[in-house]
Amino acid sequence: MNGRIIITGATGSMGAAAVEALAARGVPVLMACRNLSKAAAVRSDILGRIPAADIEIRQLDLASMASVRSFAEGIDAGTVAGLFNNAGVISKGYSITGDGFENTFSVNYFGPWLLTQLLLPKLPEDARIVNMISLTCRFAPLSEQTLRPAEKDFSQLGTYARAKRALLSFSMELARRHPSLRVNLADPGIVASNMIDLGHWYDPLADAIFKPLCRKPAAGVQPALRALTGQAHNRYFVGRGDNAIPSRYFAPDLDARIWAATEEALG
Which are the catalytic amino acids? Answer: 160
Beta strands 241-244 and 235-238: pairing type? antiparallel
* Residue 230, C-beta contacts closer than 8 angstroms, at least 6 positions apart: none
Q: How many angstroms from the chain centroid is the CA of residue 4?
A: 16
Inter-residue contact 197 to 214 (CB < 8 Å): no
Report the alpha-carbon distance of residue 31 to residue 232 in Å, rounded.
Answer: 24
Burial zone of 208 (CB within 10 Å; 0-12 exposed, 13-18 middle, 19+ buried):
exposed
Inter-residue contact 48 to 73 (CB < 8 Å): no
